[in-house]
Structure 1
């Protein structure tokens, strides 16, 4: 489906395409800004592909609710306003989601939030800037169903965002080959029962040096309170970034990514990786694949 309308709704609009029930690969004929007056709900089996144009989503954001097999690629999200308005909100019960090469900044709530038993989600090659509470995974200690959450975050650049890169409750997150610099409180946080596998990332501190944070909370179905666990393996910490106090914890405390996928492309956290992530994350001026079939 090829879109050329930047109205909030109506024929040819992104909202109209996302609500359709059949599988769609949505592309854009021209560049522009889509000013959403309300959250835009995305149904299952949709690819929203910004390649070939420069598409900015503003005003509100996307909501992936009870959907599966959704790809969001090469878009910009900026200037979202309103209570509980995220750039991309994934809840509840959504799965098999891929957010790739998007630029996100300046929303009133989160940039990407993954909650309420949403799982099997990948965030890759995204650029995050000008924001406080960047990425929340698991919203509340009462949401014990979030123990099912599995998220992979790789080759992303968190540039001066304040906190939550991510903050995790209950679930399992594999972080690898990301570059996080100049945070305002901490880089990543493990709260109640969280398991974070931080592998070959670059953490470059600014004024605040605390790289890894642990918050204690009480799960609704447990007697006592607990924090989470972080395994740091091959990470590079620069400019006084503090190491993980629980580095090297026992095998049973943090999952192994190989339990869920057999291989992944892992690069050494060198200056060359840092340089690449500053250039090649977020929206890119890349062409749409020539072999793609467009149905108007």
Structure 2
């Protein structure tokens, strides 16, 4: 949109905040598709199940299966009742009870306060219901003497507080101190403030299997004692985009690691310091594991032992140690090794939550139809648009367009009559798959029918309800420097529909990068953006939709001539609707200090009926943000619209003033993610 606006008079705002009930968000980071559980009514209450499903009776393998310390194997709460929980209060109630329980987590549960670790008692199975069980902002603690605990099939994520190698916030996904007989299986653990798994202070008889550990500084630590008592089995885990403790094993009596996949993904900000580390007097057996791109893949102290058998190393650098005499794991338990060459593919498809675990229904959710796009012809289609064109009009179920790694230079439009479409990069990183084009608002269309205009410049347009974009990059690479003679708004991604999810994406552009609209002014348009990166300089998150930007990074860019100046948001929110919410994110970039506004109020065409809104809360603001962070636009005073902050941090944050409104705690309670989404729970 143009920076220049005709001046117009504006009325004072008279709106009331809509008070919404807190809703749990289904994780946007999973790659499974299906229904999510209802959160209110009868389904909201914990329910006991008379029939015990097969997964509830499964017991651990590895060292967790070995009889010791008066405990015969690890089977969790199978002798108790099965209950389904969807609230923090109910989860804590049953996890801390003295009697055994199988606790099925059937919703996203947000820890309050952030960093909270529920103190689990003995004889518990805590299991996610299919892929819908999520623990956000905290985890579990197993204290001294706690035993016979199973934690399975959960996503535990996002207690990260913005400081890498955080020494102030010991917020782990799963921590145990002097516990025994614990099985951690098929979980997705990521983005925590400290470690993902900590097995500490003589904890023993632990098995960690089929988990995905990622996006963290410290993945997995074992030890913190001079005693040599810990027995632990670690098998079939995918550890990627983690820096250290992958795992670090300190003074373990027996550490058996096999069929794990350690991957340092090229091109990411996270670089591995080391892989498997045998420390102190640890005796480690390391078998049939696959190391890709990892620095110092295997290390040992001079006092420790590592016996390697059948491991594969691809693109690794630094130390790769072995030596000493360890032990024979088969003298403790039986196990079967998978072929090392099969490990990457096996773990990419098999780790993390399974739809078959934690569910009580025997009815399977309908599988999504998948259309495969590949530039090299190995898929069904060579372009993304060709796959979109193949989606039948008015389709009633989800269709996934899986786009293999590569750069796709094309304009893609998902029309309004093709709902339930997911466009998803098939690579291991969002950088692997890129959709890019370079149209701008002032460019002439090839058919001579005029210019594109701002919405028409979009590289990717999503105009259909209940659609998603995941795990890829969308870029508008229009060259402003070469085309200063035309209107240079150049949209990378446009949404103009309701119930849109953008998860794990990179959206690149300069002016007007991300346009978030509705099908019409009187139509709803909710967009949930999570775990993503958005770059730009002028009004680059803008439009009239109701938008949540959650746990994401917003990167400020210099303008075409090298100057630093711009606006993060430009909402044009209809009155009595929610606008743009930026929540628990970071705003930064290589630009001059005090050069960017957080936003300005857009009244399209001088429209006096709109009531623009941006709320930025619990977000880290760099020094690039002005001390007076809001700006007028087109003759309308931002003070007559809705702009506010709440508990932001960083060099660019500031206290309450007439030029910097801050929400009270009571006001903030009505301006949370769930309030913005208004009864919609984004599906996985």
Q: TM-score w.r.t. structure 2 length? A: 0.37
Kindly indicate whether residue 265 of structure 2 is the aligned counterpart of residue 193 of structure 1: no
1:232 equivalenced with 2:308 (yes/no): yes
Alignment partners' CA distance in 1, 2:210 and 2:216? 18
The answer for unaligned runs of 5 or more in structure 1 is: 216-225
Note if 1:282 corresponds to 2:367. no
Q: Kindly provide the CA deviation profile for residues 166-193 of structure 1, in whole angstroms up to 9, marking residues without a partner as x.
A: 1011102101011001151111111111
Q: Residue 121 of structure 2: which of 31, 35, 43 is its match?
A: 43
Per-residue deviation, 1:290: 4.5
- Counterpart Cα distance in 2 of 1:260 and 1:273: 24
Q: State the Cα distance separating 1:274 from its structure 2 match.
A: 1.2
Q: Runs (4+) of structure 1 moved beyond 6 Å?
A: none
Query: Does structure 1 residue 84 correspond to structure 2 residue 165?
Result: no
The counterpart of 2:300, out of the listed 182, 189, 214, is 214
User: Which whole-Å CA distance do the structure 2 matches of 1:212 and 1:159 have between them?
Assistant: 15
Task: Out of 280-289 and 41-50, give the one that drifted further.
Answer: 280-289
Aligned-pair CA distance for 1:245: 3.1
1:69-125 CA deviation, whole Å, 9 max, x = no partner? Answer: 100010011112562221100112x11100000001111111000011110000000
Give the whole-Å Cα distance in 2 for the aligned partners of 1:150 and 1:41: 22
What are the Cα deviations for residues 212-254 of structure 1, in whole angstroms up to 9, with x where unaligned? 1234xxxxxxxxxx542211111011124557332xx34xx31
Task: Give the alignment partner of residue 328 of structure 2, picking from 253, 256, 267.
Answer: 256
Does the residue aligned with 2:244 lie in a helix, a strand or coil?
A: coil
Distance in 2 of aligned mates of 1:51 and 1:3:
9
Give, in whole Å, the separation in 2 of the partners of 1:117 and 1:240. Answer: 32
Quick one: distance in 1 between partners of 2:361 and 2:139?
30
Write the distance in 1 (CA, Å) between the matches of 2:169 and 2:360.
41
Secondary structure of the residue that 2:94 maps to in structure 1? helix
Alpha-carbon distance in 2 for matches of 1:85, 1:256? 35
Q: Take 1:282 and 1:227, find their aligned partners in 2: how far apart are those partners?
A: 35
Structure 2, unpaired ranges of 5+? 1-81, 161-167, 265-270, 363-684
Q: Distance in 1 between matches of 2:262 and 2:249?
A: 16
For residue 200 of structure 2, what is the aligned residue in structure 1? 115
1:17 has 2:94 as partner: yes
Alpha-carbon distance between aligned partners in 2 of 1:240 and 1:39, rounded to the nearest angstrom? 36
d(CA) in 2 for partners of 1:290 and 1:18?
A: 20
Kindly indicate whether the alpha-carbon contact (under 8 Å) linking 1:90 and 1:113 is maintained by their aligned counterparts in 2. yes
2:225 equivalent to 1:148:
no
**Secondary structure of 2:343's aligned partner:** helix
Contact 1:45 1:70 in 2 (8 A): yes
In structure 2, how many angstroms separate the alpha carbons of the residues matched to 1:240 and 1:101?
27
Q: Do structure 1's residue 124 and structure 2's residue 209 form an aligned pair? A: yes
Distance 2:97 2:171 in 1: 23
| Inter-partner Cα distance in structure 2 for 1:244 and 1:259 | 27
**2:128·2:134 contact (CA, 8 Å) conserved in 1?**
no
In the alignment, the residues of structure 2 paired with residue 109 and residue 124 of structure 1 have an alpha-carbon distance, to the nearest angstrom, of 21
CA separation in 2, counterparts of 1:237 and 1:178? 12
1:90·1:118 contact (CA, 8 Å) conserved in 2?
yes
Alpha-carbon shift at residue 291 of structure 1 (Å): 8.6
Distance verdict in 2 for CA 1:156–1:19, change over 3 Å = same
Would you say 1:27 and 2:109 are equivalent positions?
Answer: no
> Structure 1 length as normaliser, TM-score?
0.83
Instruction: Report if aligned partners of 2:216, 2:243 keep a CA contact under 8 Å in 1.
Output: yes
Q: Which residue of 2 aligns with 1:169?
A: 250
Native 8 Å contact 1:36 1:58 kept in 2: no
Asked if the contact 2:300–2:321 (Cα under 8 Å) also holds between the matched residues in 1, the reply is no
Bigger Rg, which one: 2
Given the superposition, is the C-alpha separation of residues 212 and 273 from structure 1 closer, same or farther in structure 2, using an over 3 Å criterion?
closer
Alignment check: 8 A CA contact 2:131 2:154 kept:
no
